[in-house]
Amino acid sequence: MEKTEKHVIWQPHEEIYKVGDAPSGAYLIVSGYVYLYTSGGLKLNRLGVNEIFGDASLILKKHRSVTAIAGEHEVHALFLPSKVISDFMDKNKVIGALIRKTNIRLIDSNNQSEELSKDLEDLMKMVKKTDKISDNITKLVENMRKKVNKTLADD
| Contact (Cβ atoms closer than 8 angstroms) between residue 66 and residue 37 | yes
Cβ-proximal residues to 122 (8 Å cutoff; 6+ apart), any chain: 140
Show the beta-strand stretches assigned E in 18-123: 25-31, 34-37, 43-47, 52-53, 67-70, 75-81
pLDDT at 53 over 80: yes
Q: Give the residue with greater pLDDT, 3 vs 143.
A: 143
In the predicted structure, residue 86 carries a pLDDT above the cut 50? yes
Q: Are 121 and 140 in contact (CB under 8 A)?
A: no
Instruction: Fill in the DSSP letter of residue 21.
Output: P
**Residue 19 pLDDT exceeds 70:** yes
Counting beta carbons within 10 angstroms of the beta carbon of residue 70, is it exposed (0 to 12), middle (13 to 18) or buried (19 or more)?
buried
Q: List pLDDT tens digits, range 107-147.
A: 888 888 888 888 877 877 777 677 666 777 777 877 776 77
Mean pLDDT of 21-40: 94
3-state secondary structure of 11: coil
Q: What mean pLDDT comes out for the span 38-67?
A: 91
pLDDT of residue 18: 96
* CB-count burial class (<10 Å; 0-12, 13-18, 19+) for 6: middle
Please report the pLDDT score of residue 3 as a whole number. Answer: 46
Predicted confidence at residue 107, as pLDDT, reads 85
pLDDT at residue 64, rounded to an integer:
94
Instruction: Count CA atoms within 13 Å of residue 34 on its CB side.
Output: 29
Contacts of residue 147, Cβ cutoff 8 Å, sequence gap at least 6: 112, 115, 116, 119
Quote the pLDDT of residue 131: 63
- What pLDDT does residue 150 have? 61
**Choice between 71 and 85, residue whose per-residue pLDDT is larger:** 71
Domain-wise residue ranges, the chain: 2-91, 98-154
Tell me the CATH number for domain 2-91: 2.60.120.10
Ordered strands of the 34-37 beta sheet: 15-17, 67-70, 34-37, 43-47
Which is higher by pLDDT, 43 or 110?
43
Residues whose CB falls within 8 Å of the CB of residue 95, separated by 6 or more in sequence, listed in order:
none
